């Protein structure tokens, strides 16, 4: 069964797309935790960061560079946070690796 992110990538479910290329897609998070909250999702299904292979290193690096690019485009020059949740206790809600890019306000630590 396809994940919700695979359905978004395949245009089976609508989403507000922020960025897209051949490797990934970035969408607005519908459960925003900050004034700006985007998800950056690889088009290749990697269930979670703990399941990533050494051969996924280019994809993983690409996701971080796209997060930086989006942060610059969205004027998050005061700061931003990149989060990857892994597993149920790590806050993972969709079994498809994705980065959260949050900004637009002062972010506190620890995150919770």
As annotated, the active-site residues are 98
8 A C-beta contact, residue 31 and residue 47? no
Sort 48 into a burial class: Cβ within 10 Å, 0-12 / 13-18 / 19+. middle
């Amino acid at each position: 069964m396809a994940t919700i992110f695979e359905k978004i990538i395949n245009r089976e479910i609508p989403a507000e797309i922020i960025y897209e290329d051949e490797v990934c897609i970035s969408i607005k998070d519908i459960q925003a935790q900050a004034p700006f909250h985007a998800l950056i999702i690889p088009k290749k299904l990697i269930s979670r960061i703990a399941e990533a292979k050494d051969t996924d290193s280019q994809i993983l690096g690409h996701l971080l560079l796209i997060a930086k690019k989006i942060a610059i485009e969205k004027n998050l020059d005061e700061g931003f946070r990149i989060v990857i949740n892994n597993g149920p206790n790590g806050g993972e809600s969709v079994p498809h690796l994705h980065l959260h890019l949050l900004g637009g306000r002062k972010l506190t630590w620890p995150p919770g």
